[in-house]
Amino acid sequence: MAENKRTFLEELQEAKSHSYAVGAFNIFNHLSARAVVRAAEELGLPVILQTSVVTVKEFGTVQLGAMLRQLAEEASVNVLIHLDHCQDVELAKACVDAGWDAVMYDGSRLSLEENIAGCREVVEYAHRKGVQVEGELGRIVGVEDALKVSAEDASLAGLEDSIRFVRESGIDAFAPAIGTAHGVYKGRPKINFDLVAQLKEALAAPVVIHGGTGLSEETFRRLICSGGAKVNVSTAIKHAYLDTCRDYFKDAPAKPDPIGFDRILSHAIEQTVKDHMIIFTKDRA
């Protein structure tokens, strides 16, 4: 069991101060969550189990919270539970009540004023219970479970609006749209590294990088050195799981072995997580 457990914000502030990033990996069942924790334990690094709204609704808030909380409490490293891209204020509050360490209220589809108001409502509720809040400005292109943003609807965050948004909303971590994308990249992304560096200097709130799957090691390291303290990875975890399933059944094993099958899936996810976490901590001071 991890000792001296840091909060979500404390882990991100530590990462920001020492030029590395905490990996946040979107899990979708017990196997994937346990594999992420095992990878973090092998490396001796803190990690974030990130849940989509789709996953929360599939399992149930209380049931999923209890399952993840048990994994977190039994881990030898600091494991934090975070809700990703929630557009429903009431669901965000329910996850706060069910034991999440942090929640993201995503009002990026709204006007700046409405986004600030929605975040502030979640912040006021969450902070009373010791839970931190992530917010987003600008719209990140791509598909993330039920969240879909076309290239036409995508928009990048600007420095002045970002500063206003963070200060007026009271959020603890900030996810600006900087040119990364959810899902699989089509071509080389055009990323605003300068904005990440400017936000690191202008704000106390750590910067979060969404759309981590498919970025090169060079891009990851540049983003992290610029100020990215948390990096989200979702699609790579799904591919590790599903691609391994396809490869396994191509061989059509004669003997049914569900436990062995689960071990193979778990190993694939663990390796994917470790590969990313090693990159995220390469420049650790």
Q: What is the CA radius of gyration of the chain?
A: 18
| Residue carrying structure tokens 């990249």 | 185
Q: Which of 84, 101, 106, 172 is catalytic?
A: 84
Cβ proximity of 212 and 239 under 8 Å: no
User: Is 251 among the residues known to form the active site?
Assistant: no
| Distance (Å, whole) CA 67 – CA 58 | 13
What is the distance between the alpha carbons of residues 229 and 248, in angstroms, rounded to a whole number?
36
Catalytic residues: 84
